[in-house]
Structures are given as C-alpha cells and as structure tokens.
Structure 1
Amino acid sequence: MTEMRALALALILLAPLPARAEVEPGDLTLTVTAELNGNSAPFAREMVLLKIHGVYKQPILLEEVVQPSLANFSWTQLGRDHWSRTKLPDGQSAIAFDRTVAVFPHHAGQFTIEPFIHKLTVNDVGERRVVEVRSKPIPFPVAPWTEPTGGPDAKEPWWLPAKDVAITDSWSPDPETIKVGETARRIVTLEAQGMVAEGLPPRPVMRTRGIITFAGPVTRETLLTPSGPVARATYQWDVKPGVPEIIPLDAIAIPWFDTSTRTMRETEIPARQIGGGLPDRETDRAPPAIPSPLVTAAAALAAFGLGLALIGFGLGRPSLRLSASARRALHAAARAGDPAGFRAALDAAMRDAPDLARIWRGRPDVTAALAALDRSVFGAAGAPVPDLPALARALSRPERVPGPPGPERLAALDGPAR
C-alpha cells in the first residue's frame, strides 16, 4: 500500500506541466490559515486547525516541509499530506498540496505562528534547483478565561472544549435484573467532535453505597472525518451489588465548552437503578421461546393443581410500578433541586399510570409530600420544598394492587345444602 501511494505521489509530482523558462514570482505559493471556532480567539487547550495549502505551477522533483517550532503550543498532524492536480482561474494546470495540523495553545497570550517552509526541488530551465516557499506569519491571540468557575486552568471539572459531545451507556445484563453477588458490566462511550482523544477526561468516578465496582481499561481513539476529528473514549466497569435493597445510581455530569456557541454546556452519564425488578425497555427483553404441546399441557395441569391448593388462602396480588423513563425523570429533577420540573415529570407519570396515582392518593405520607410540593411550586414565594430525592424514591417503589372485597372461599359447587 505504501509503495502504491509513493508511486501515485510521484506521478502527480512529475506529471508534465506546461514548460516554463524559469521560476517566476507567483509560480509557487504556500498559505496557512487558522480555522477559529466561532470566529473567536481560542482559549488555552482549545483545538485550532491550521490548514496548509500550496499551489505549484512548476514540475516538482523532490519536496520537504519544514515546520516552525510552534513554541507555546502542542500540536499533531491529522492524516497524511494530500497531493492533487488542480486548475487555476486562468485555466493553467498546477499541483496542489494540503496538510492539516491541530494546535493547542498552552496558555493565554499574544502569539504568532511563524512561517512554514516548503523546500521544493524543481526543474528550472533544465537544471535542478531547490526553492524555499514560505508562508506568511499568522498573529494568534489566545483569550484568557474570565468566568468565575471552570476554564482551562481549573483542576475540576475537566476542561472539555468541543463542537458537540455525545454519551452512550450500555449494560449487560440490565442492572435492574441483577441480585446480590451477581455482576453487570457497564460500558460508557464518550464522543467529542472537534478534538483529539488525548483531550478527553479520565474515567469518571462511579461509586455509591451498596455496590462494589471494578474499573476496566480505558480505550481512546481519534477518528478523522471530512468535517474534522472526532475523539472517542470508552470507559468500563464491572458492578456488583452488595445489599439486597434497590440501589439508585446517580447520574454523572460531564460539563463541556461548546466551541461553536462559546458557552458552557452539560451532558451526563444517565442515572440507573441496580436491582428491584425486570427491565422496562422492550429492547432488553429476549423473545420468549415457544413451548412444546406436552410442556404446555403439563404446565396447565400444574397451574390447575396449584390453584386448587390456594383456594381460600388468598393469592399474592400483582404490583404496579412507574416506567424506567418516568423514574429517571423524577430522580433527575430531584438531583437538580427543581420542584417545578419534578412536578411536571410527576404529572406526566400520573397520566401514564392512573392506577398508581389512585394508590398514592390513599397513602397519607405521599399525599402530605405532594401537598408540600404543590405549595412550593404554586403557593407563595419562599414556601419550603419537600425532600425531593426521598419523594422520588417513594414514588419509584412497586405498589401492591389492592384486591376487591369478597368472600374468602368459593361457594359450594353444588349450591347450598337443602
């Protein structure tokens, strides 16, 4: 593959161009352009792309790029150099050279990107001649961070400047299905557009009461796309519950700086629940196996016998529970200390589960907390806010469905005795 690329490059460089008597001004040009995010001066550690572009009318025999020292910057070249044939506005043929370098200023200040030099060996009137083509120096101001918190120099939170950030969270098996002593693996993938993998944060800390976590390896990679680099980091944990109770696992906030809008934003690794029931999402359920007729008949007979045995002793009543998405919305509003958001999430949950709403209205502790919530949202300013995390936990628990009143035993099959 390398030999084929070298051959293709040689064909481009040595391809016949219109014969020229000598190298004239304008025949060989090299420009460097800094692509500023949001057309604003970057902050420290924010990535800026330098686009190096050369246009050469003369046939090139050999070439070498001499890069400036880039003091006060870290840098990395993105991809290989690209050579191509191009047509100029006047119709002449030329050779185009392109290279992309990502630079990261170390600190605020007024800097200059010194010239790049492209050493070219050309055929000048039948003689080999080395020509140095220089770009112009570029003023490069780096802005200081003026906000009261965060920024590139703060130890926490991690400084994450990007065009966009996305998080995916996967568990195997679903954390709600595991019991004490069992293990689930959590894999979180963080992708940031407009930066390289070395700038992504270290593995977040995931701990809470009642679980044991074993941190796995962290993998990082930089993907080169036509719109720029995309950084990806994958974090992994093995999670084991140590208590039989339901364990709420809080969301993990990831603040980041939007380089396009020049504002701070936040995404999060979502909250989950460990233990407490079957998965609520359809994608987490495997399709049931179709039993054979003999197995079906045996199961029916066993169920009939069990039903006869339980007549008169009372069967266990079914339970109701909010969906996983509704529970997550309540816990998120509780963590944010947002009573209005909590009330809105609760309204949506009650519309989706009216039977649960009726059960809650029959529980004095829940009705008292809901009344306090309504006073804090709709009442006079300064009304106390109830304990939202405790209320979210109370509303997230399964609730037994009350059974209808009636006789404890079936009537005699043959009717009353005469």
Structure 2
Amino acid sequence: MRLLLCLLVLALPAGALGQSRTVLPSDLTLWIEVEEMAHPPVVKEMVLITIRGIYRRHITREKLEQPDLDGFSWTQLGNDDWREERLNGETVKTFRRRMAVFPDRAGALTIGAFAHQLTLTDERDDWFEHAVLSKPVTIEVAPAPQTDGWWFPVRELKISDQWSNAPDQLTPGEGVLRVVRIEALGVTPEMLPPMPELTSPSAMIFPHPEKRFVELSPEGPQSFAFWRWTIRPSNDTSTIVEPMSFEYFDTVNRVARSVTISAQRVAYGAAIPEAAVPTSGARPHAAQLPGWGLAVLAAVVSLAGTLHASSGRDWGGLRALQRFGLFDPLARQLRTAARAGRVEGVRRAAAAILHRDGASDARALLLQQLDQAVFSPERRPYPLVAFARSFLRAA
C-alpha cells in the first residue's frame, strides 16, 4: 500500500506538468525530411519531401501553415496522416504530410519553415494556443539542359497507341478514332507535353480536345493525358499518318531520351458497297429485251459515240448520258438514304459512285464538305437531300 501511494505521489508532478502551460521543446517537434537523391535535382524535377511531427501533449485543434515556397511549384500527396505510436516505450502522437515540390529555377532554393498552429490544454483544462515551427531546408538545384523542345523530366513514362478498329481495313466512307495515352510518374498534368499536330499528306484529320487528370500516390503524382483524333482517307486508296515524336529526361538514369509514335497506314479494305454486292442465294432472272424507248435511246448514244470518236473532240453530253440516274442503282440508293436521313448510307453511296465513275473536283469538294460537317466535334445537321441532288448533278 505504501509503495502504491509513493508511485502516485511521484506521478502527480509529471501529470500536472504534461497539461501545464509550460511547453518543453521535447514535447512538440516538427521537421522537414527531403528524400535523398543520388544527384542534385534539375529544374522541374520532382523532389519528395515529408513534414513530420512528434507530439507528447494532448492536442484539441491543429492547422499546419506552409510557407510561400518561393521558387517551387508543389502538390500535396494525399491527406495528413495522424497516428499513435510507441517511441522508446512511450505513446506519442505522430504527424505526417507528404508533398512533391518542383523547383522553378536553378541555384540554392530554400523551403521555409512550416508552422503547426496547435490548441493545447493546461492543468485546469483550459485551452491555449501554441505554435511549433520547423527549420528551413535548402536544396541545390542544377540547371536544365538546353533543349529546343518541351522540357519534360519524368521518373517513369508509359505510352500506348490505340485505334477504334483496324486502320487499314476501313469500309468506304468510314473514319477511325486514334487515341494516344500518356502516363507519367513525377509530373503534374500541366507539365505534360502539349498535344502534337497529327499530319498526313492526304488524310482528313479531326483533332478532339485532349483530356488530362492526375492520381496522387506516396511516390508522387501520376499524370495522364489522352490525345484523340478522328482520321479518314480523303481518297479511295490509302494514306499514311506521319509519325510523332517528343523528348523527355529520364530522371532515374539521368539521360535524355526520345520517344517516337510510329507512322500508320490508313486505308479502305476490300469491302464492296452494298449496292454492288449480289445476293448469293437469289436465282438470276431471265434476260429480257428492252422496249422500243430504250432501243431508240441506245441508238442515239451509239451514234453520238461514233461522231465523238470520229471528230476527236471532247463532248460533255456523253459524260452526262453516262451519269443518267433514272436506272442507276447507286444514284437511287443515294437519294433513298438522303431522304431517310442516314448519313452513313449517303456517304457509302457517294464513295461508290466516285469509285465507279472516277473522282471530279466538284464531287470531291462536296464530299469533303460533308465529311467536315459529319466528323467535326460539333457535328451539326447537314442537308442530305440537297447534297445528293448537287452530287448527282456535279460533273
């Protein structure tokens, strides 16, 4: 019993001191840890820092105030972490905040003092304010190497090139969506290179707005970018989409690297327009002689062809007769699709007519205007009936 009373008497001063207004330096400690790096960081390279605290007092409220971080861009990597841990047999509260800073210039840059504003309690259980400060930390930053392009230091880089369908097996009039995915560790989204301009000698390319976002992890920000284009050949053969390339700085191996996204052939496959595909199971109809009206028309065409061949002159009326649409199944298909409002059917029939009759400047211009309206990001309604009428009349 006496031993127990002695222990209680000895513990009372310590307990009173623990809740008194007197705050010892060992009660509250706060400091900045900078992740060790084998080489001095260069401009824009990620530097990981951790703000740590060990507290031996009861804390009612808290707020960590960070300095201006002049000369740095920064991002916080997740929420603050509070825990109770045992240190040398004593239960203490620990604080941890993870951050990534990116130096904006070379030289000696200082991370100022963090101030942790704490609300503590005294021996009468009254609240009072107390601030604990960390010591400033200085980082030596090396200048970035000279480069003509976008300066892009990154710890890890992954790139994928994806297509919505086989780019060299398109059906006539079809477009293909290309998506290039960039994944980079150690940068924020605005540090990623800008979306490049995709070029081709003959393809029609419609860029989409790029998308960027970031995921935070203890190893740093993981940023993503999606570059998207809709591509369609502007002729009935094929085209090549030019390669894209950009440079980046590998901060792990300390070497500049170049990445190239290869060229790609975009072409229509061996698909035949629907109007030209015979029905395999249908029996052929018996041949029938045309009536007198068509016989007279055939005689006129034959006579005109003979006169044209003998004169050696280019007679525009002959081409007009060749495009006579009364009995043309492709022209009938074009008009039907236009009246029904089916853009795909209109585009397919127009491409089949060009493939059969040969391209003309007027028709190519009309088809280009249709494609720009259909494949543009806004995709506005287009007068298909007027297009079909103008397309069939165009020479």
How do residues 254-403 of structure 1 correspond to structure 2 at under 5 angstroms? 254-275=246-267, 277=269
Secondary structure in 1 matching 2:168: helix
- Following superposition, the deviation at residue 301 of structure 1 comes to 11
- Confirm or deny: 8 A CA contact 1:86 1:93 kept in the other structure: yes
- Following superposition, the deviation at residue 50 of structure 1 comes to 2.0
1:1-31 CA distance string (max 9 Å, x none): xxxxxxxxxxxxxxxxx87254322121111
Q: Please list every run of 5 or more consecutive structure 2 residues that lacks an aligned counterpart in the other structure.
A: 1-14, 271-278, 284-395
CA RMSD of aligned residues (A): 2.5
Secondary structure in 2 matching 1:198: helix
Tell me which amino acid in the other structure corresponds to 2:28.
L
Which position in structure 1 is the counterpart of 2:325? none
Which position in structure 1 is the counterpart of 2:216? 224
- Confirm or deny: 8 A CA contact 1:179 1:244 kept in the other structure: no
- Pair 1:47–1:165, CA change in 2 (3 A): same
Runs of 4+ in 1 over 4 A off after TM superposition: 298-302
Secondary structure in 2 matching 1:221: strand
Equivalent-residue separation in structure 2 for 1:200 and 1:84 (angstroms): 36
How do residues 29-44 of structure 1 correspond to structure 2 at under 5 angstroms? 29-35=29-35, 38-44=37-43
Which position in structure 1 is the counterpart of 2:196? 204
How do residues 2-401 of structure 1 correspond to structure 2 at under 5 angstroms? 20-22=18-20, 23-35=23-35, 38-88=37-87, 90-126=88-124, 127-145=126-144, 147=145, 149-150=146-147, 156-178=148-170, 181-275=173-267, 277=269
- Following superposition, the deviation at residue 123 of structure 1 comes to 1.8
Aligned residues: 258
TM-score normalised according to structure 2 size: 0.60
Equivalent-residue separation in structure 2 for 1:242 and 1:264 (angstroms): 38
- Following superposition, the deviation at residue 226 of structure 1 comes to 4.0
Q: Please list every run of 5 or more consecutive structure 1 residues that lacks an aligned counterpart in the other structure.
A: 1-17, 151-155, 279-297, 303-418
Equivalent-residue separation in structure 1 for 2:44 and 2:219 (angstroms): 20
- Following superposition, the deviation at residue 228 of structure 1 comes to 2.6
- Pair 1:96–1:270, CA change in 2 (3 A): farther
- Pair 1:100–1:226, CA change in 2 (3 A): closer
- Following superposition, the deviation at residue 300 of structure 1 comes to 9.7
Which position in structure 1 is the counterpart of 2:333? none
1:244-292 CA distance string (max 9 Å, x none): 33322233123111111111122232332111648xxxxxxxxxxxxxx
Bigger drift between 173-182 and 92-101 goes to 173-182
Secondary structure in 2 matching 1:237: strand
Tell me which amino acid in the other structure corresponds to 2:251.
T
Equivalent-residue separation in structure 2 for 1:239 and 1:140 (angstroms): 48
- Following superposition, the deviation at residue 179 of structure 1 comes to 5.3
- Confirm or deny: 8 A CA contact 1:169 1:270 kept in the other structure: no
Equivalent-residue separation in structure 2 for 1:272 and 1:219 (angstroms): 23
1:90-122 CA distance string (max 9 Å, x none): 111111111122222221121211111101111
- Confirm or deny: 8 A CA contact 2:100 2:220 kept in the other structure: no
Equivalent-residue separation in structure 2 for 1:210 and 1:181 (angstroms): 15
- Following superposition, the deviation at residue 39 of structure 1 comes to 2.8
Secondary structure in 2 matching 1:24: coil
Equivalent-residue separation in structure 2 for 1:46 and 1:222 (angstroms): 17
Higher-Rg structure is 2
- Following superposition, the deviation at residue 191 of structure 1 comes to 0.2
Identical positions, percent: 36
Tell me which amino acid in the other structure corresponds to 1:252.
M
Tell me which amino acid in the other structure corresponds to 1:269.
I
Equivalent-residue separation in structure 2 for 1:216 and 1:202 (angstroms): 13
Equivalent-residue separation in structure 1 for 2:253 and 2:165 (angstroms): 39
Equivalent-residue separation in structure 2 for 1:32 and 1:207 (angstroms): 49
- Confirm or deny: 8 A CA contact 1:49 1:100 kept in the other structure: yes
- Confirm or deny: 8 A CA contact 1:190 1:233 kept in the other structure: yes
- Confirm or deny: 8 A CA contact 2:203 2:241 kept in the other structure: no
Equivalent-residue separation in structure 2 for 1:270 and 1:58 (angstroms): 61
Which position in structure 1 is the counterpart of 2:305? none
Secondary structure in 2 matching 1:39: coil
TM-score normalised according to structure 1 size: 0.57
